[in-house]
Amino acid sequence: MHNEKKQFTKAAGIIGIFTLASRILGFIRDMVIAWFFGAGLLSDAFFVAFRLPNLFRRLFGEGSLTVAFIPVFSEHISKYGKEEAFQMARSAVRMLSVILVIIILIGIITAPGIVRIMAPGFTGAQFSTTVTLTQIMFPYIFFICLVALSMGILNVLGHFAAPALAPVFLNLSIITAVLFISPHLSDPIIGLAIGVLIGGILQLLLQLPFLVHKGFYFWQKAGFYHPGLKSIGHMMLPAVFGAAVYQINMLVSTLLASFLPEGSVSYLYYADRLVQFPLGIFAISMSVAILPSLSRQAESKDMHALTDTFSYAIKLIFFITIPAMTGLIILRHPIVALLFERGAFDPVSSKLTADALLYFSLGLWAFSAVRIVVPTFYALQDTKTPVKIAAISVLANMVLCLALMKPLAHAGLALAASLSSILNFILLILALRNKLGALGGKKIIESISKSVICSSVMGISLQVFIGVNATASASSVFARLWVVFAGIFLGIFVYGLTAYIAKSRELIDIIKIIKKG
């Protein structure tokens, strides 16, 4: 069991490191977009158009396709050997490719209707621009879904780096497009869409050498259908919805934000991007790393080990995300100003984005914890429970959005997403406890309590630091750099020190693994 924990933590670390590189480039990408396009008609059009292919990336690249494929692929390797498993994977590639081409053609043709659904408040030039961008970017879905399938193959074969590194190529492509393609077009925003499409191609090309190294070739002969695909499809259909609560809620927010003042969609987008930074590095990395471990334990019927792995992962995710939430809330204004406030993105845009970030941050711990709970259900071959709970959460989000958008505008939509995710987590954890019995709740609560206390001490220290540097955070870029990075390092130091004094088990485990390499 200790070896399983060590293997899981190391895999999560590898994914986290490459995800960190991707997220940093993602922020540079958003800084470039904010500098060039600001927060207005054009940026709103792009972010709405990009929401759909991005949804497919998160659903399939970080969700249902990989979740459904990994257990079946692992089972085929174990029962029938690697070559038979590869045959199934190649059949999956062929069938998926045909399905995706059909989806893309339908998507391009029906783009006007899709935009009317996603942003019913858009009219005139903003509507037509959004339609054009949607049509250009729709083929991105083809490449990113094949990247997701490659990710499943490579992860089962013990390789995590290339799939985690893939988004770096998307970000580089978009940055390059803004700097070198957009300035030469009569409609510069089209350059962004071209960058997304090129980025999808590059992400898929990155996977090929690593697949070949593992002995897998897309182009080898295989049937269009394989019996294993039925099992994948059976798991995948409910998994799409079960794993997509946050994304569906964000789609609802985007739809309603289109009725709010111009720039509201962009404020929500930039705030969401900041929340996605810790969410991507820690929660998504851990959810990808934990599934193989949970699947092995479920297959061997070792429920004690499975519960132990889940308990370890949930304590670790809270140990990381509670201080991250605290830091984002306190440093929200300096962070937004440093990253985005330049060019067409003015102080008012910064303030409104920071407001959204505050309310998104309140749900960071829940967004992250759900990423650990849902794969546990999938490892147990239970896809129905997450779907039922997801439906309740989505309905709650819609009601909360409608109730909060009038008094709080776009910030109310962010708060609704957080509250519905908290509800989602509570219902999931109750259902899992009912399924498995005791989850080690006493130890989990003890660990969370320590994290909350240590984060509170850290938060007080940061608040004092912000107060002392209040004028600096509103002045030059270098002063803002000082406030943000000094604040982050101060927060890490204070949290780490207080966690050490409190004898946090998670900190001790991380230090041991680092020391042993």
Q: What is the DSSP secondary-structure string of 193-212?
A: HHHHHHHHHHHHHHHHHHHH
Give CA separation, 504 vs 188, 273, 450, 460, 499, in Å: 51, 30, 7, 20, 5
Q: Which two tokens mark 221?
A: 């002969």
Query: Do 232 and 282 fall within a single domain?
Result: no
For residue 482, being part of any structural domain is answered with no
Query: Do 165 and 250 fall within a single domain?
Result: no
Predicted pLDDT at 481 = 87
Query: Do 362 and 262 fall within a single domain?
Result: yes
DSSP 235: H
Write down which residue in 212, 238, 264 finishes a domain.
238
Query: Do 4 and 144 fall within a single domain?
Result: yes
User: Count of H helices and E strands in the chain?
Assistant: 22, 0
**DSSP per-residue string spanning 293-357:** HHHHHHHTT-HHHHHHHHHHHHHHHHHHHHHHHHHHHHTHHHHHHHHH-STT--HHHHHHHHHHH
Sequence-ordered list of residues with C-beta below 8 angstroms from that of 502, at least 6 positions apart, any chain: 450, 453, 454
Predicted pLDDT at 408 = 93
CA 216 to CA 91: how far, in whole Å?
12
Judged by DSSP in three states, 442 sits in: helix
Sequence-ordered list of residues with C-beta below 8 angstroms from that of 65, at least 6 positions apart, any chain: 59, 145, 148, 149, 152, 236
For residue 49, being part of any structural domain is answered with yes
pTM, to two decimals: 0.75
Which amino acid is present at 285? S
Query: Do 221 and 248 fall within a single domain?
Result: no
Tens of each residue's pLDDT in the chain, 517 residues: 456 666 666 677 777 788 788 878 887 888 888 888 886 778 888 888 887 777 776 666 556 777 778 778 877 887 888 888 899 999 999 998 998 999 999 999 999 999 998 888 888 888 999 999 999 999 999 999 899 899 889 988 878 788 888 889 999 999 999 999 999 998 899 999 999 999 999 999 999 999 999 999 877 887 788 888 888 887 777 766 665 666 677 778 888 988 888 888 889 988 988 998 888 777 777 777 777 777 777 777 788 888 888 888 899 899 999 999 999 999 999 999 888 887 778 889 999 999 999 999 999 999 899 888 888 887 787 878 888 898 899 899 999 999 999 999 999 999 999 999 999 999 999 999 998 888 888 899 999 999 999 999 999 999 999 888 876 555 677 888 889 999 999 999 999 999 999 999 888 877 766 665 4
For residue 326, being part of any structural domain is answered with yes
Query: Do 68 and 14 fall within a single domain?
Result: yes
For residue 416, being part of any structural domain is answered with yes
CA 495 to CA 499: how far, in whole Å?
6
For residue 463, being part of any structural domain is answered with no
**Maximum distance among all Cα pairs of the chain, rounded to whole angstroms:** 67
Query: Do 365 and 279 fall within a single domain?
Result: yes
Q: Which domain holds residue 433?
A: 244-444
Total number of domains constituting the chain: 2
For residue 469, being part of any structural domain is answered with no
Query: Do 406 and 266 fall within a single domain?
Result: yes
For residue 475, being part of any structural domain is answered with no
Judged by DSSP in three states, 251 sits in: helix
Query: Do 91 and 162 fall within a single domain?
Result: yes
Write down which residue in 394, 428, 444 finishes a domain.
444
Query: Do 188 and 271 fall within a single domain?
Result: no
Predicted pLDDT at 514 = 62
Write down which residue in 392, 418, 444 finishes a domain.
444
Query: Do 362 and 286 fall within a single domain?
Result: yes
CA 66 to CA 331: how far, in whole Å?
35
Query: Do 52 and 154 fall within a single domain?
Result: yes
DSSP 363: T
For residue 275, being part of any structural domain is answered with yes
Half-sphere exposure at residue 8, Cβ-oriented, CA atoms within 13 angstroms:
31
